[in-house]
Amino acid sequence: MKDFYKNQFDEGTITKLEIFERYTAEWLPVFIMGHQKNINIFDFFAGAGCDSNKTEGSPIRILKQIKKYVGKIFQNNKIINVYFNENNNKINDQLVDFCNQFIESDYELARLKTNKHLNIEFLNDDFEILFEKKYLRLNSILHLYS
């Protein structure tokens, strides 16, 4: 397997990340203003959080979008649960370190986390196994609202 995060993101990857970030920017406030208390965000292929040049990957882009709505998250008493998964142990360790440093260096994100409005779970599992576990959990939650 190619060690993707030892290299720079190519143009196609950066384009995908930018589209993903714009998508997150559009749907996140809809959920923050919605009726559900808990918002769950899953990144099943989180990677290391950045490339070799520290170009931000999807985990940091998600956190930056959450940061934009700190006031609304507190005001609406929302809990944001973020699940970052990386199957490769070494890359997962990098992901955990990079995300924790990012949060600790940002007052607003640290405040969300300290006050239990932001919960991050770092997962290290195969996608198929993890998806089945989380799908069953989400499916049971969805049945509570139907």
- Find out whether 5 and 93 touch, Cβ atoms under 8 Å: no
Report the pLDDT value the prediction gives residue 7, as an integer from 0 to 100.
80
Report the pLDDT value the prediction gives residue 140, as an integer from 0 to 100.
57
Report the pLDDT value the prediction gives residue 2, as an integer from 0 to 100.
46
- What's this model's pTM, rounded to 2 decimal places? 0.86
Per domain, the residue ranges of the chain are 4-144
DSSP letter for 87, please: S
**50 pLDDT more than 90:** no
> pLDDT for 77-118, tens place per residue?
999 999 999 999 999 999 999 999 999 999 999 999 999 999
Report the pLDDT value the prediction gives residue 1, as an integer from 0 to 100.
37
3-state SS class at 97: helix
Architecture of domain 4-144: 3-Layer(aba) Sandwich (3.40)
